[in-house]
Structure 1
């Protein structure tokens, strides 16, 4: 008997988007409970299936694909992929891991379900399936939300309802896209957690994000430690108050400025007299000849 692949069910919200009939088909696909009359199941050549252009997932675990490939070599593909008709061949809707693993296993064909979906439905179902399977990292999820908002004109609140999440969750995820690209890559590679990046987003000086992120990783800082560092960096540093000028020196400075008709600075160790050009310098030198008698 063929061994079933792990098939987490698709989440809530699909019925509202696609209608009960399509929702039932998708549910049956995930559970492997398909009657012949439910959907158009057939064998499709793996080379005829193009990737889903709306696939939000960019990073795939090569080791897990290899493991799935070995399972497929032994047991075959239990859960069909979903495809739609393209100008040439087919476009993948869901099942990219299965398709990649099947190619790796050397299969020429793979079981598929042919469905009629428009671009909006393809985008939404690809995002929903990945979110419910928890296959997306935080940046991929945020990019998926952004694409739906830009392509379909959703507000954050409308998108939240469509995917069964809170508006706050959608807003917080979208904020991740404000992170520098290097920091986003740290999230994708699993070097920074959501807690770390939420703390980074609190930095008032965004130019410090790269440095703080690098320090958090290299020093193995906890989320609390990063929060404390961000708080410290956000607090304005008090400028040292200038030392009050000695009253006597101030009086001397004023008398010299009046005498020389130029800017003079006097402190405890030096006198600085400003001049402009040779003529002004000669004028000052003449005046300096009688300064001892007048002060």
Structure 2
């Protein structure tokens, strides 16, 4: 009898891990370094394959960027098609971007800044309206608009700071045991950062630093930000007063006020600058005391400004 023939080893189609890359506009831009994912894959293998689509001579990740990084950390050089990686066919860029969002939107490791930029990409590069995006991902238009606000109105400096603080907090939390008596790191509520994005750019970083330094809760922080917005109105009125002063040039004799009035207006301008500086460094308790005075000042300056405008209209024979 002839010897038993050994069964042929199954042949698996593989692709080089180096041919798989994360696209520049992938939804996830940051990866937490404090994760057990690499250890888990090392112990039990890859439980969920990476989803990719063809791109040029290689592949781009649709879902599974963190798993890809973990496999690279383990020194894996080849991915088995159907087991480690699934290649999507007939995938358009817009479809791939939507799959990224849908796959990641419920995950804790996707931050709101990245999500906002993904929504902006869908709108500006693929002509999806924000209400369409909201309907497709099962969220409200307000939810999408708030994330877009983070991407478009929040300064790049504060965006990077917020993401860095989130990642640092995750790392620290992962090292705390159940019996650890240390206070967990402060993590800013997303509603707070969305409200910071509505401030003028020059106020965003100071507001962020003040809220973090005092570890304000949501209600305290939102109240603080409302006071900053009211202060911004005072700054705008200060600019109006400054514009009124500058509108009277020394060479325009006909429209120039007398010297005493001009000096007085300049003094108001300087005093408002001093007030703005004082307000910017005031703590919440001081701001509460300042608010009634500022509100009265806003009303009085607004009334005066309206009176000046009415006087100019009357002098020109125009009905105010």
TM-score of the pair, normalised by structure 2: 0.56
Q: Distance in 2 between matches of 1:180 and 1:195?
A: 16
* Structure 1: distance between partners of 2:198 and 2:87: 47
Distance 1:220 1:122, change over 3 A: same
Separation in structure 2 between the aligned mates of residue 46 and residue 231 of structure 1, nearest angstrom: 50
Give 2:184's aligned residue.
none
Residues 152-231 of structure 1: matches in 2 within 5 Å?
A: 152-177=126-151, 178-188=153-163, 189-190=165-166, 191-203=187-199, 205-231=200-226
Aligned runs of 1:98-177 on 2, under 5 Å?
98-110=67-79, 111-116=84-89, 117-177=91-151
Residues 146 and 105 of structure 1: CA distance in aligned 2, closer, same or farther (over 3 Å):
same
Q: Which region of structure 1 is more displaced relative to structure 2, 67-76 or 111-120?
A: 67-76
Q: Say yes or no: does 1:52 pair with 2:26.
A: no
| CA distances 1:90-142 after superposition (whole Å, capped 9, x unpaired) | 22222111111111111122221122111111111112111132431110110
Q: Which has more radius of gyration?
A: 1
Conserved in 2, the CA contact under 8 Å of 1:42 and 1:112?
no
Q: CA deviation at 1:263?
A: 6.7
In 2, Cα distance between equivalents of 1:71 and 1:158: 38
- Provide structure 1 residue ranges, at least 5 long, that are not aligned to the other structure: 1-40, 240-261, 266-295
How far apart are the structure 2 equivalents of 1:72 and 1:165?
A: 32
CA offset at residue 56 of structure 1? 0.7
Residue 92 of structure 1 aligns to a residue in which SS?
strand
Task: Map residues 256-267 of structure 1 onto 2, 5 A cutoff.
Answer: none
- Alignment deviations for residues 57-110 of structure 1 (CA, whole Å, 9 cap, x no partner): 11101121xx22222223222322122233313222221111111111111222
- CA-based RMSD: 2.6
* Secondary structure in 2 matching 1:63: coil
Of 29, 42, 55, 1:73 maps to 42
SS at match of 2:105: helix
User: Is 1:54–1:122's contact at 8 Å kept on the other side of the alignment?
Assistant: no
The answer to which of 219-228 and 172-181 deviates more is 219-228
The Cα of 1:212 is off from its aligned counterpart by: 1.4
Q: Which deviations, in whole Å up to 9, do the C-alpha atoms of 1:146-199 show, x marking residues without a partner?
A: 111111111111111122211111111111120122222232122532132233
Higher RCO (CA 8 Å, separation ≥ 6 residues): 1
Listed as ranges, the matches of 1:235-246 within 5 Å are 235=230
Deviation, 1:46, is 1.0
The answer to whether the Cα contact below 8 Å between 1:85 and 1:114 also exists between their aligned partners in 2 is yes
- What is the 5 A alignment of 1:88-99? 88-99=57-68
Pair 1:43–1:71, CA change in 2 (3 A): farther
- Give every structure 1 segment of 4 or more consecutive aligned residues whose post-TM-superposition deviation is greater than 4 Å: 262-265
